[in-house]
Amino acid sequence: MMIESAFYQALWPALFKGFKLSLALILPSAAGGLVLGVLVGLIRGTEQPRWLFRPCQAYVSLFRGTALAVQLFICYYGLPELGLLLKPLCLEFGLPEWLWRLCYPSAYGASVLVFILCSGAYQSEYIRGAILSIKRGQFLAARALGFSRWQSFSAVILPQALRLAWPGCSNEVIYLIKYSSLAYLLSARELTGAAFSVGSFHFRYTESFFCAALFYLSLVSLATWLFSRLERAWAVPGFGRS
Amino acid sequence: MPVLEARHISKSLGGKLIVDDVSLTLDQGELKVLIGPSGGGKSTLLQCIHYLHRPDQGEVLLEGRSAAEMGRRNICAFRQEIGMIFQDFNLFDHLSAENNVAVALRKVKKFSTRAALERARAELARVGLADKARLYPAELSGGQKQRVSIARALAMDPKVMLLDEPTSALDPELIGEVLNVIADLAQGGMTMLMATHQIGFARRLTNEILFMEKGRLTERGSPAELLAPGSNSRAAEFCAKLAQLMGRE
Ligand SMILES: Nc1ncnc2c1ncn2[C@@H]1O[C@H](COP(=O)(O)OP(=O)(O)OP(=O)(O)O)[C@@H](O)[C@H]1O
Ligand SMILES: [Mg+2]
């Protein structure tokens, strides 16, 4: 009985701490991924501005086409090698210090960066698809009323694209909640990492991962509820059903 | 001085000459009607006049000012002064009728939200839709949608209206309500250029019909001279064919 409570006394605080770090990974990654996805999706869906179209396509195929764990390792272990090159250059030419410091990310920093880039690539797919399904005539009508190109995007295309893409985008955030566990590969002590270390210390993996699963489950449920509320709040009669 | 003048407009799309050296003028309060077979380039011509397609050659003058040398910003201002009505309405699907009208006032004319909504409701009332202001496009009939799009264009205080087959996508029983609005506008002195297949309507309201075929304006004249039986014009032939297709007009 003593051992029993010692295990749980160690587990819960560790999991809560891990959960906080998980949240700190997920929230900025979800927000950043959404913003990046909208920007990239706009560029890919409208092919405007032209010169950014190909780079965006390349970025998306790169991040959709490689394993997330590999991206994490490349960012965490590969960037410092770039830093070795950059640092002397920065010193030589008086470039700002943060430029090479960026190349030595913490496990946390590298994870958030990769999650944003990866999530942004997937989000842009949903946004692009939504934009392609909006009738071109509406863009023409906006231009005919004297909207600038940017105004037509922001006032006409984007509000519709977001509504159409929302189910897909929220799904991607749900995935992100779960793949944030991969930050543990870079030894970030988020939820999964915490469960693993307590589990291995006490040799009780099943229970500690089961408890970690409960955390993920409640977070996903909360997010699902929130997204469907937003979807209802933004609903427009008869929109997106044709 | 004409309100709107198009000089020698030409436009190629996809390597094909779609509009071929077209010139026309619209005087204050005048309604001209553009007719012609499908694929003749009517829509493309209207969009060139509006600079939605930049003409390859020629220029458009609005009250004597040429759009040819305008930069992007001024082209947007130029477009504001010309209203455009599309065959398939092109309402913004995510906005209610009143916001469809108000959004351009807010974004382009920088009205406050309140002033924009007030103006929008007034314009909707003008086209007989005061009671539909809160409805969304999916909740409106085709005729109502087209009237909203007319209200949306009118709210910008355009000097000219271009109408591209405004009733072609409508069920026959809904055509009348839209034509009535357009007739009211004509009576109110709005300057308009309208592509249409509604020959009977055109005949009643216009002094000049322009016949467009294969990118060129091949015939022009008053309905009386152009469409008179035995006038032997291509326009008369085309109208006879239309009448045959549609039954009696
Ligand atoms: N973006 C484009 N690229 C290539 N060809 C085009 C393009 N837009 C229109 N066309 C062609 O231009 C021709 C004229 O089209 P337009 O829509 O102007 O004719 P229209 O007189 O308005 O016909 P309708 O009565 O069917 O509306 C058509 O043959 C069409 O296929
Ligand atoms: Mg047409």
Measured in whole angstroms, how far is the alpha carbon of residue B182 from the centre of its chain?
Answer: 10
Nearest to B91 by CA among A69, A57, A237, A139: A139
Percent of the residues in chain A that have a pLDDT greater than 90, as a whole number: 77
Residue B166 to residue A28: CA distance in whole angstroms: 49
pLDDT per residue of chain B (249 residues) written in tens, 0 to 9: 899 999 999 999 999 999 999 999 999 999 999 999 999 999 999 999 999 999 999 999 999 899 888 888 888 889 999 999 999 999 999 999 999 999 999 999 999 999 999 999 999 999 999 999 999 999 999 999 999 999 999 999 999 999 999 999 999 999 999 999 999 999 999 999 999 999 889 888 998 999 999 999 999 999 888 888 778 888 888 888 888 877 654
Those residues whose C-beta lies under 8 Å from the C-beta of residue B117, and which sit 6 or more positions away, are B98, B99, B102
* Res B32: pLDDT: 95
In CATH, what number does A31-188+227-233 get?
A: 1.10.3720.10
* Res B249: pLDDT: 45
Q: What angle do CA A74, A77, A83 make, to 5 degrees?
A: 105
pLDDT in tens, A57-92: 999 999 999 999 999 999 999 999 888 888 888 888
**Residue A143 pLDDT class (50, 70, 90 cuts):** very high
A 109-138 residues with CB < 8 A to B: 135, 137-138
**Domain positions in chain A:** 31-188+227-233
Burial B95-118, CB ≥16 within 10 A → b, else e: bbbbbbbbbbbbbbbebeeeebbe
Higher pLDDT, A149 or A221: A221
Q: Does the CB atom of residue B246 touch ligand 1 within 6 A?
A: no
pLDDT in tens, A212-221: 999 999 999 9
* Res B138: pLDDT: 95
Residue A85 to residue B26: CA distance in whole angstroms: 68
Q: Does B114 touch chain A (CB under 8 A)?
A: no
Which domains does chain B carry?
Answer: 4-81+160-248 (3.40.50.300), 91-157 (no CATH)
Residue B50 to residue B71: CA distance in whole angstroms: 14
* Res B183: pLDDT: 95
User: Exposure of B241 by Cβ count < 10 A (0-12 exposed, 13-18 middle, 19+ buried)?
Assistant: exposed
**Residue A242 pLDDT class (50, 70, 90 cuts):** low
pLDDT in tens, A179-201: 999 999 999 999 999 999 999 99
**What's the mean pLDDT in A125-135?**
94
Kind of pairing between the strands at B65-66 and B57-62: antiparallel
Contact B164, B209 (CB under 8 A): no
**Is A5's pLDDT higher than 90?**
no
Q: Does the CB atom of residue B38 touch ligand 1 within 6 A?
A: yes
The rounded mean pLDDT for chain A is 92
Nearest to A114 by CA among A53, A197, A58, A183: A183
Nearest to B150 by CA among A141, A44, A53, A182: A141
Rounded to the nearest angstrom, the minimum Cα separation between B136 and chain A is: 6
To test ligand 1's pocket by mutation, which of B10, B35, B42 has the most ligand atoms within 8 angstroms of CB? B42
Residue B92 to residue B71: CA distance in whole angstroms: 27
Q: Does A229 touch chain B (CB under 8 A)?
A: no
Q: Do B138 and A241 touch (CB under 8 A)?
A: yes
* Res A4: pLDDT: 65
The residue nearest atom 24 of ligand 1, judged by CA position, is B38
Q: Indicate the pTM of the whole model.
A: 0.88
